Amino acid sequence: AAIETANHYTIDLDEGLLEEITQIVEYPTAFLGKFDAKYLQLPEVVLITSMREHQRYFYVRNQTGALEPHFVAVRNGNDQYLDNVRAGNEKVLVARLEDALFFVHEDKEKSIDDYVKKLEKVTFHAEIGTMTEKTRRVGEIARYLHELWQVNGTVDPSQVTITDAQIDRAAQIYKFDLVTGMVDEFSELQGIIGELYALEAGEDPAVAAAIREHYLPTGADGELPSTPLGRLM
């Protein structure tokens, strides 16, 4: 709170992260670290995941809500030699962000259909085939359920009917990000990265959302899919 007030920042005190840090330190000393602003070109979810999930840092926003190239970390100890501790934490984070930047640039050199093609060589299950064969089965099941349930969209006030073309495209590409460099490095972002890449590639927003939402819910109390195609997938 002192760091937040002194710098006019907004720091999201994620309750889960706060509880975890509380349990693993005996003498907590919070400090502010920084990283190069060039990494802000990364998708926000990648930055937050790198800080929160991998390094147990709190991310920092400015008064407009935009991410700042700073983080708050907690040292188990007093404030002696804190500059050395800060430098070490910054070095570790920058190494991870540098990897992420590399993978984003490398991933964008290929098209979504290039990644879909690679799924032909990924085994889903030894006895029932590849990921490509799985996606084909999912497409057939989704079409059947669409016809059976007559699933209509409720994203906006007008009823938007899901089309067969949307179902087919979603089924074809909904697993493509599994073979990207970003998901290989940040496996917890599968689906999320797929949606981002799909939107950047000009895919139908409904199809892009379904890539992320087909994983939902991720737990008993987890978020449910909010779009018709996402629910169908």
Reported pTM: 0.86
> CA-to-CA distance for 59 and 176, rounded, in angstroms?
29
Q: Is residue 118 within 8 Å of 130, Cβ to Cβ? A: no
pLDDT > 90: percent of the chain: 85
User: Pick the residue with more confidence: 94 or 149?
Assistant: 94
Placement of tokens 């889903």 in the chain: 124
Residues 133-145, mean pLDDT to the nearest whole number: 93
Q: What is the mean pLDDT of the chain?
A: 92
What pLDDT is stored for residue 160 in this prediction? 55
Task: Point out which residues pair with 58 in neighbouring strands.
Answer: 72
Tens-place pLDDT, residues 198-221: 999 999 999 999 999 999 998 898
Tens-place pLDDT, residues 55-72: 999 999 999 999 999 999
What pLDDT is stored for residue 191 in this prediction? 96
What pLDDT is stored for residue 61 in this prediction? 96
Residue 136 has pLDDT above 50, yes or no: yes
